[in-house]
Chain A
Amino acid sequence: MKKKILIAAVVVILMSFAAYAALLIAPTESKMGPIQRIFYLHAPAGMVSLLCFFVCFVGNFAYTLKRESKWDCLGVSAAEVGVAFCTVNIITGPIWAHPVWGIWWTWDWRLTLTFVLWLLYISYLLLRTLVEDPDRPWSARSTGFSRFWTCLWSTDRFDGGARSIPSR
């Protein structure tokens, strides 16, 4: 218990320093102004959510092969944390985009696929709570992983959307 509190305290201290660094140490971006500082939360949250979904894939893939409950536990844990980080990413994106590009949202490949990825993992988590047998949400697992790759691919392939609109 003490160890858990200690780790939690270290995480809080590190996050506080990260917030301080983003708000006071990092220079203000010349075109976008102070709102650009949200980028320090927005982009890493998106990256970490993809990392979580990858861990979810590894857990579910191992569970499919070995049928050991520990892998299923890892899969669902990573999916839940990934959805939380993906939510942060989806919320902070429009907060950044509106003052800079004048739009809250655009249905370009990257944003749409991220939104679909988010919905897919929410449906996976919902399916898991609704179905007793842990083998059932298999289709959600596999499609979720394919969406994960298309999301990564779209980030690389389609560098458009809100960012293609000149800053105000």
Chain B
Amino acid sequence: MIMGGSGSGLEPTMAKVFWFWFFNLVILMVFLVRERYRLEAMRGEVQLIEREAEAA
């Protein structure tokens, strides 16, 4: 049980480490999604240019 009422939950040091891990992984997630988004947007632009070149 990570969260709960009184008498439940993680030991305080364990909880701190757990939330530190969580926020680190969120930062990693944002970084990865951002980079992957840029790549996908670039791929879309390349596809658009390809279609325009084929149509011309």
Q: Which residues of A contact B (CB under 8 A)?
A: 4, 7-8, 11, 14-15, 18, 21-22, 25-27, 29, 39-41, 43-45, 47-48, 51-52, 55, 69-70, 73-74, 76-78, 80-81, 84-85
Q: Which secondary structure dominates where chain A touches chain B?
A: helix
The answer to whether B11 touches A77, judged by C-beta atoms less than 8 angstroms apart, is no
Q: Which residues of B contact A (CB under 8 A)?
A: 2, 11, 13-14, 17-18, 20-22, 24-29, 31-37, 39-41, 44
* A52 to B40 Cα, complex, angstroms: 16
The answer to whether A48 touches B29, judged by C-beta atoms less than 8 angstroms apart, is yes
CB neighbours of A25 from chain B (8 A): 13, 17
Distance in Å from the Cβ of B20 to the closest Cβ of chain A? 6
The answer to whether A51 touches B29, judged by C-beta atoms less than 8 angstroms apart, is yes
15 contacts between A and B (CB under 8 A): A4-B35, A11-B27, A18-B17, A21-B21, A25-B13, A27-B11, A39-B18, A40-B18, A44-B22, A48-B25, A48-B29, A51-B26, A69-B41, A73-B40, A76-B36
Please count the residue pairs between chain A and chain B whose beta carbons lie under 8 angstroms apart in the complex.
80
The answer to whether B31 touches A8, judged by C-beta atoms less than 8 angstroms apart, is yes
CB neighbours of B28 from chain A (8 A): 11, 15, 48
